[in-house]
Structure 1
Amino acid sequence: MIASFSINKNEVTNIFFEEIKNNAKAVIPIALLVLILNFFVGVESKLLVNFLLGCVGVILGLAVFLTGVEMSISKIGTMMGEFLARFNSIVAVIIFGVFIGFIISVAEPDLLILANEITSAVGLAPQVIVMIISLGVGIMISIGLFRIFKEIRLSALMIGIYAIIFVLMIFADNFGHAIAFDASGATTGAMTTPFIIALGLGVASLKGDLSEDDSFGLVGIASAGPIIAGILMSLSIDPANVEIAEAAHKSALISGITNASFAIVPITLVFYLMNYLYFKIDKEELKDISIGLFYTYIGLIVFLTSVEGGFMELARVMGEALSDSKLLPLIAFVLGLLVVLAEPAVAVLSEQVEDVTGGSIPRKLILRALSIGVAFAVMLAIFRIKIEGFALWMVIVPGFMISLILSRKVPQIFVGIAFDSGGVASGPMTATFILAFCQGVAGNIADGFGVIAFVAMMPVITIMILGALFKGER
């Protein structure tokens, strides 16, 4: 029997207005910072107007999107998790995990955006890039589900996975490292994260002895797959073909509709098929989830259109204008501090953490820790662009080494939250606004890669340190 889900109109309204309030608190500071910087940069009036309209679109789009996620995607993920947990064969769990991980990752808007950026630099078809990266996600989700069933210690598994990654990094160049780690951050975005979190919770809850340690970590494991897949993919790219080029301009609305359609249609079809064959939920619940999927779709269109049409273009122009400013590192720090709060997946994760821990780890504490970590990450990305010979691996390898060492010394729930947070912090806002800003600073697309990698890494260290402090207080 599949768990029953229902939500009334008052609850939907309350969720929507709560998200409006939260999103406004996140976006308005970014808008104010841009307006202040505009006094020194002086961008075109049309570009500034598009940005301000984009801010309104982001607030409304995120509110509709997150309301839809609450009504549909999270519930579908939980049902999928329960479905997986009922398999007698672990082989069946692994196969289904690869399939559903591939389907949801192919649909991730962040990955589609990044794939288009990579295509403009190396000429590899974006569909090929998306499929290679998504296969890595699917395989890692299966490994993560296998870990939950077999009760494998998360820290031990992550040490093994990153040992493989570090060995593969020896054979790839700096550009390969950048696109691989950027793909990792971009994969776990607004669509993928709530689904994977709910999938993990659904499987963990049916083991019979649900523990906090099993509730998190699947997103972190999944985000390691694109790194391995990305490095292997980069080995097939001829460095001579890496171009210094500008991305072709596309209609933000058409791009938003296309990406949102890719995001919603595959998982919607899979859900309706599985409901017909297995879930068989009642008509009222099916209606609620269907409405939620529609909200998610419309919200994603508004959000992606607003981000690409208002945020990316202005961010690239501002990056170019501020590239020689002595205050650039400080500006990057403040941008990182603010932008992460507008990431929809960060809100989903922080709420899940507070719920699962019964409030012992407050939502605000997670948000503050992530903000500080991402702020340092964006600043480091700027230093990497401006300092010749500053390679990505010089920060990535020591950073993850520190995280893996700390993972053996902090409560295991923090290990899961830390690796999950690395994925969710690098969502739509990072894959668009911050990436475009860094590309503007670099003066080209290729040298702008790597910022998502830093953003995905720093929260892991930050949450690990938070876990050490939390353990000390206890």
Structure 2
Amino acid sequence: MDVFLEKFRGVLLAVLPITVIVAILNVTLTPMGRHLFLSFLVGVIFIVIGLTIFLLGVDIGITPISRQMGTSIAKTNKLWIVIIIGLLLGFAISVAEPSLHVIAQQIDNITAGSIGKIPTVIVVSLGIALMLSLGFVRIVYNIPLNKTMTLLYFVVFVLACFTPEEFFSVSFDSSAAPTGAITVPFILALTVGVSALKKNSKVSEADSFGMVGIVSAGALMAVMIMGILSKTDDLTGTLPRVGTSSFSIMGPFIEKLPIVAGEVGLALLPVIVVFAIFQRFSFKLSKKALNKIVMGFILTFIGLLLFMTGVNGGFIEIGNLIGQKLALTENHVYLVLVGFILGFVVTLAEPAVYVLTSQIEDVTSGYVKGKIVIGTLSLGVGIAVALSMVNIISPNIKLWHFLLPGYVVAIVMSYYVPKLFVGIAFDSGGVASGLMTTT
């Protein structure tokens, strides 16, 4: 109970700033009406309770089994086994990730069906699978992360030169595909398990991070290649307008609940299947330990179900409305300022961010404080959202004007900062673009 209350308090403090800011906007720049605002408040309740239960479930279930899987993979000490398991795990986990299906559907919409949803899901999942295998090989053979990321983003820059301009932003948004609430804790814990067998503790710490950054690059490259091969020069499609057909406050949540339940179940299914296989042939956990893992899965399902229902039922339409009304204001300074503030505070409530910071404190034995990571990460996301607003209101400013120097600076800095922080930095870039932030 003490652990639950501690997590509840942390989540409540994280979500409270978003609630206060939306309440202020409601009575100042973007009035949204009583019905919509009350739906937002109900969504906040869903999110606070759901995120608390989810984080508890991850600690009990997903994190321990993923670490054991990683250790079992590394113990084989056979390259072909490491590569094959990496490919299978990467594809299985990503192909069921709800955020990937959302992005794939958006690509289908904006290309008017010329790039279908299913091909996108398969191609991106293959890209993620290849990068997960590469990440395992990197850890086993002690290949420096900064050199790995330099090579990957050199390939990204080459592909960017041939990617249609209209498809450029879609490609970079797709890098959020492997950063779902289930995928991130699984990949992070898996990486810790693989690197735990390193005899040098400092090397083991550094190698515990960076995998999310690597697989994000895989998703990015996969979508860029699709854009190049499809020769989609003009995005003639449109995204459907977000809305709800219900006039009751609870209507949107009731409407979304069964849909979200299916998505969460689908996302958890590959993890459960993989665990069952490892339990049969490797783990052989006791009945007591197995029951604890099962309880972790149940809590993860319930927590993520409540969280995603709260986001889909109470946050999406509010975000859509705030963006529309701010864009219509004559003073665009408000748009940039609110973009920064919302980018900052929304990151505080991102599930994947908490999973990452928890692992950082665990791996470094508290040497690197999670609160410092969250603070700097939130600041970075706030600045990024503000720059994105500038890009929207200023047609002459292109997305690559921000991305190119940003990635170049990040790559150069990776050769001068401690190795531990290189992995944390690239993983942070991935987890910051999770469900809450992208919504």
TM-score strictly above 0.5: yes
Structure-2 change in CA distance of 1:176 and 1:240 (3 Å)? closer
Letter of the aligned partner of 1:197 in structure 2? L
| Matches of 2:188 and 2:344, distance apart in 1 | 24
Q: Which amino acid aligns with 1:242?
A: T
Distance 1:24 1:186 in 2: 27
* Match status 1:270 vs 2:305: no
**Range with bigger deviation, 239-248 or 28-37:** 239-248
Structure-1 residue corresponding to 2:85 = 96
TM-align CA RMSD: 1.6
Query: Which residue number corresponds to residue 43 of structure 2?
Result: 54
1:65 Cα deviation after fit: 0.9
- Rounded to whole Å, the distance in 2 between the matches of 1:90 and 1:293 is 31
2-structure distance, mates of 1:109, 1:19:
25
Offset at residue 274 of structure 1 (A): 2.2
Aligned to 1:431: 438
**Using the alignment, how far apart are the partners of 2:291 and 2:148 within structure 1?**
40
Change in 2 beyond 3 A, CA 1:245/1:366:
closer
Counterpart of 1:28, as a letter, is L
Deviations 1:15-59 (A, max 9, x none): 322221111111111011111101132213221111110000000
User: Any residues of structure 2 matched to 1:374-453 within 5 Å, and which?
Assistant: 374-432=381-439
Kept in 2: contact 1:62–1:300 (CA 8 A)? yes
Correspondent of 2:293 among 277, 286, 289: 289
Q: How far 1:153 moved relative to its partner?
A: 1.1
Q: Conserved in 2, the CA contact under 8 Å of 1:204 and 1:215?
A: yes
Query: Could you tell me whether the CA contact under 8 Å between 2:178 and 2:212 is conserved in 1?
Result: no
- Structure 1 residue ranges without an equivalent (≥5): 1-12, 433-474
Q: What is the CA distance between 1:392 and its match in structure 2?
A: 1.5
Q: What is the distance in 2 between the residues matched to 1:247 and 1:288?
A: 43
**Counterparts in 2 of 1:46 and 1:128: CA distance versus 1, 3 Å:** farther
Aligned to 1:10: none
Contact 1:110 1:431 in 2 (8 A): no
The amino acid of 1:208's aligned partner reads K
Decide which of 157, 169, 185 is 1:166's aligned counterpart. 157
Following the alignment from structure 1 to structure 2, what is the Cα–Cα distance between the partners of residues 237 and 36?
45
Aligned to 1:117: 106
Residues 381 and 432 in structure 2, CA contact (< 8 A), matched pair in contact too = yes
Q: CA deviation at 1:430?
A: 1.4
Counterpart residue identity of residue 290, structure 2: L
Matching residue's letter, 1:108: E
Matches within 5 A, 1:216-235: 216-235=209-228
Equivalent residues in 2 for 1:232-271, closer than 5 Å? 232-235=225-228, 236=230, 238-247=232-241, 251-271=255-275
The aligned amino acid for 1:240 is: D
Amino acid at match of 1:269: V
Of the structure 1 ranges 393-402 and 38-47, higher mean CA displacement relative to structure 2 is found in 38-47
> Take 1:242 and 1:263, find their aligned partners in 2: how far apart are those partners?
31
Which digits, 9 at most, give the CA deviation of each residue in 1:258-298, with x for residues without a partner?
21011111211221122122221111111111111111111
Query: Is the contact made by 1:174 and 1:393 (CA closer than 8 Å) also made in structure 2?
Result: no
Shift of 1:239: 3.3
Deviation at 1:317, TM superposition (A): 1.1
Matched, 1:135 2:135: no
The percent of aligned pairs where both chains have the same amino acid is 40
How much has 1:177 moved relative to structure 2? Answer: 2.0
Secondary structure of 1:430 counterpart: helix
Q: CA deviation at 1:148?
A: 0.7
Q: Secondary structure at the residue paired with 2:416?
A: coil
Partner of 1:435: none
In 2, Cα distance between equivalents of 1:308 and 1:237: 33
Aligned 8 A contact 2:242 2:317 in 1: no
Q: Following superposition, which runs of at least 4 residues in structure 1 exceed 6 angstroms of deviation?
A: none
Does the CA-based 8 Å contact 1:307-1:429 persist in structure 2?
Answer: yes
Residues 194-209 of structure 1 aligned to structure 2 (within 5 Å): 194-209=185-200
Distance 1:332 1:218 in 2: 29
User: Which residues of 2 match residues 65-80 of structure 1 at below 5 A?
Assistant: 65-80=54-69
Q: Name the counterpart of 2:379.
A: 372
Partner of 1:472: none
In the TM superposition, residue 187 of structure 1 has moved relative to its aligned partner by: 1.9
Amino acid across the alignment from 1:239: D
Looking at structure 1, the residues matched to 291 and 314 of structure 2 have their Cα atoms a distance apart, in angstroms, of: 34
- TM-score where L is the length of structure 1: 0.85
Contact map agreement 2:101 2:121 (CA 8 A) in 1? yes
CA–CA distance in structure 1, aligned partners of residues 6 and 413 of structure 2: 36
Which range moved further: 29-38 or 104-113? 104-113
Question: Residue 168 of structure 2 corresponds to which residue in structure 1?
Answer: 177
> Could you tell which deviates more after superposition, 353-362 or 117-126?
117-126
Partner Cα separation in structure 1 for residue 328 and residue 181 of structure 2: 33
- Work out the CA distance in 1 between the residues paired with 2:198 and 2:96: 29
The TM-score normalised by the length of structure 2 is: 0.92
- 2:13 pairs with 1:25: yes
Q: How does 1:316-331 map to 2 (within 5 A)?
A: 316-325=320-329, 326=331, 327-331=334-338
CA contact (8 A) 1:213 1:413 kept: yes
Superposed displacement of residue 237, structure 1: 5.4
Contact 1:341 1:371 (C-alpha < 8 Å) held by counterparts:
yes
Shift of 1:322: 1.1
Instruction: Provide structure 2 residue ranges, at least 5 long, that are not aligned to the other structure.
Output: 245-254
Q: 1:15 to 1:180 in 2, by over 3 A?
A: farther
* Cα separation, 2, equivalents of 1:109 and 1:17: 29
Q: CA deviation at 1:192?
A: 1.2
Worse overlay, 365-374 or 105-114: 105-114
